[in-house]
Structure 1
């Protein structure tokens, strides 16, 4: 048996480079801050460069290290350019957090093709392209890594009140996580996912405006906060989860247990 420390629970990310999408707000912003606080150099990406610059300033002010790189998840050239810019700036990423996502909030028959394309491109196509680029470079360098794909509890249930495509793409993220974990296990690249329930974010703010007080229907009468996901994220990207791959961790504050 290998000689593991007791307990085998390190979350020290010193020396890692973490590429985080959708980092300008919400969960992505918190993910970037959490990874930086654990010692990783963070590449914060999103379309809103001004917000990324503010995030990087906050991380550096707290003693961390980060760079801001503009990226449009619906544009293939932008994805590859952002990834190369990250490599040039701070080195090959060893952690990838595929967080960027958009809702559709419409019935399928009312969705314009442009919105269909945007949801597919942002929620599923871009994460797949980034995961492939991430793995391709690490395999060439004979190094392992960690991918965390952000799905949703919406991948597992849909009540018929709009946002079917969001549910479909997030279910795709679940299967993508499982399939890529099998393909890349031999290269020591772990691929896992997180499926959040209702968490405070700009996306959630929009849902609350449209649907009212959603918290009232939850077992704990609350909407969870991004910091409550820190420990799961750190576990999935840290040495402690070395044998965990192909897993989706549901974090919904009991919302799906009714």
Structure 2
């Protein structure tokens, strides 16, 4: 199946590692140019860009910037437009997930999680929407939510769950606003994946988590990334405002 991604360009926030890295590789495999946004680890982002160029023969660049900063977000978009010439797809993947029970949580930690996960999604989406409207172009925004948006957390991640619940609601509202401009806005809600963020928890409780998943295993990153590719592609042209469940059956919504 042709996903119609050749000669398009995608900006992936937090794209240097984990799920973001898998999304970059899967979009590149379909012919899309890739802009890898990162905040700190330049070497990791640069190595991924080189891998993408060598393996798939598409353009790939690294763009440093903090999605919680309006100034940085504007600069990120300017750099990508300058180097790739266009941005057709935005994947809001940047996220942090420290662990703290509400009774012990500092306001600064709460603000940091909400700022990165939810406000960052707002800032980049706003920039993307205004850019596409000014260019009179269609486009795709894919936000990374989580099953915690629906199931909550009992392990000290209430701020993370709240931010992801906000992303689900924001996705629906923005989709309704942006539909008139030919811009599709959707989200993906993964279940358990093995990443740097989840490795410690999963290593301690792997059998427990597998038993809770109807499919009986943890998701491969590529399995989630391919759903992002679908939502970023022409194949999903009649889907907007949706949050797709990729949980192996945990939530099933």
TM-score normalised by the chain length of structure 2: 0.93
Corresponding residue to 2:9 among 9, 17, 22: 17
Per mean C-alpha deviation after superposition, the further-off stretch among 148-157 and 83-92 is: 83-92
Q: Which residue of 2 aligns with 1:233?
A: 228
Corresponding residue to 1:75 among 69, 74, 86: 69
Q: C-alpha deviations, 1:112-163, integer Å up to 9, x for none? A: 2221121011100011110010010110111000000000000001243321
CA RMSD of aligned residues (A): 1.5
The 3 A distance-change label for structure 1 pair 133 and 159 is closer
Alignment of 1:119-138 (within 5 A): 119-138=113-132
Q: Which residue of 2 aligns with 1:145?
A: 139
Q: Work out whether residues 13 and 91 of structure 2, in 8 Å CA contact, stay in contact via their aligned partners in 1.
A: yes
Q: Which residue of 2 aligns with 1:84?
A: 78
Q: Which residue of 2 aligns with 1:30?
A: 22
SS of equivalent residue, structure 1 residue 156: helix
CA distance in structure 1 between the aligned counterparts of 2:218 and 2:131, rounded to whole angstroms: 38
SS of equivalent residue, structure 2 residue 10: strand
Alignment of 1:56-71 (within 5 A): 56-62=49-55, 63-71=57-65
Q: Which residue of 2 aligns with 1:3?
A: none
1:46 partnered with 2:41: no
CA distance in structure 2 between the aligned counterparts of 1:41 and 1:170, rounded to whole angstroms: 27
Q: Which residue of 2 aligns with 1:174?
A: 168
Count of aligned pairs: 248
Per mean C-alpha deviation after superposition, the further-off stretch among 106-115 and 38-47 is: 106-115
Q: C-alpha deviations, 1:229-252, integer Å up to 9, x for none? A: 243222211111111100110000
Where does the alignment leave 5 or more consecutive residues of structure 2 unmatched? none
Q: Which runs of 4+ in 1 moved over 6 A?
A: none
TM-score normalised by the chain length of structure 1: 0.91
Per mean C-alpha deviation after superposition, the further-off stretch among 57-66 and 163-172 is: 57-66
Aligned-residue offset at 1:207: 2.7
Q: Which residue of 2 aligns with 1:253?
A: 248
Q: Which residue of 2 aligns with 1:6?
A: none
SS of equivalent residue, structure 1 residue 147: strand
Q: Work out whether residues 92 and 137 of structure 1, in 8 Å CA contact, stay in contact via their aligned partners in 2.
A: no
Q: Work out whether residues 194 and 202 of structure 2, in 8 Å CA contact, stay in contact via their aligned partners in 1.
A: no
